Amino acid sequence: MVLKNLHREYFNSMANGWDKPQDEDKIIQLKKVFQDFRLHPQGNVLDIGCGTGILIPLFSEVIKDPLNLVELDFSEIMLQHNKKKWTNRTPMNLSHINADAHMLPFVAESFQWIICFAVLPHLSDKKKGLQELIRVLASHGNLLVLHLMGSKELNYFHSHVGNTIAHDRLQKGSELAAVIRQSGFDVITAIDQEDLYLVHAVKN
């Protein structure tokens, strides 16, 4: 509980300066990833650990199907910025929820897609968090864990940032893929390289 509170305080304190000029470059990188790996979220989509909403312009541009997008974050200030930036600025059905990934406020099988961009290392109990994601993901639903750097690079970065996130670790892509596979998923893609971490799996 203490660890969760420290992380919430950390991300709340970072929220005002979270958006940076290089976010546009990240969006271009993300768009390429979604196109190259033919990722087409549709239906009910959960963007967990959404921050200020970096994925929203990507979804607005590359996704043609109707989309119900839930932006969820445990940092209420991150979510306030997200809501202020994007409400009424996208054709998607957009909602914002302040909640903890370890205790998601949704019934089972609520989502066709769950996207975890740059969030998994920050879960204090990754096993419990993953169990919650599995619970709320529909049968044949897609789970996407994504970072724009590999686990080695990300772990090095966090250790040098220090403070609250110094020990927030991302396991190797092959290890996460094995855990997800044991939980009843077909793993479509598992990449862990210097400039990309991507594990895409479909729930059986």
- What are the tokens at 141? 């639903």
State in Å, rounded, how far the first CA of the chain is from the last one: 32
Q: Which residue has the higher pLDDT, 91 or 203?
A: 203
pLDDT at 81: 93
pLDDT at 28: 92
Q: Write the pLDDT tens digit of every residue in 14-64.
A: 888 888 877 889 999 999 999 999 999 999 999 999 999 999 988 877 776
Q: Write the pLDDT tens digit of every residue in 41-52.
A: 999 999 999 999
* pTM for the model: 0.94
For every residue of 114-154, DSSP letters joined together read EEEES-GGG-SSHHHHHHHHHHHEEEEEEEEEEESS-HHHH
What ranges do the domains of the chain cover?
Answer: 2-16+39-203
- Of 89, 37, 84, 88, the closest CA to residue 61 belongs to 89
pLDDT at 4: 65
- What are the tokens at 48? 């967990």
pLDDT at 2: 41
* Mean pLDDT along residues 5-15: 85
Burial of 142 (0-12, 13-18, 19+ CB in 10 A): buried
pLDDT at 64: 62
Match domain 2-16+39-203 to its CATH number in 3.20.20.30, 3.40.50.150, 3.30.70.3270, 3.40.50.410: 3.40.50.150
Q: Write the pLDDT tens digit of every residue in 128-167.
A: 999 999 999 999 999 999 999 999 999 999 998 878 898 9
Amino acid 11 reads F
pLDDT of 3 over the 80 cut:
no
Q: What percent of the chain has pLDDT over 90?
A: 74
Q: CA-CA distance, 130 to 183, in Å (whole number)?
A: 10
List CB contacts of 165: < 8 A, sequence separation 6 or more: 7, 10, 121, 122, 158
pLDDT at 60: 78
Q: Write the pLDDT tens digit of every residue in 75-121.
A: 999 999 999 999 888 878 999 999 999 999 999 999 999 999 999 99
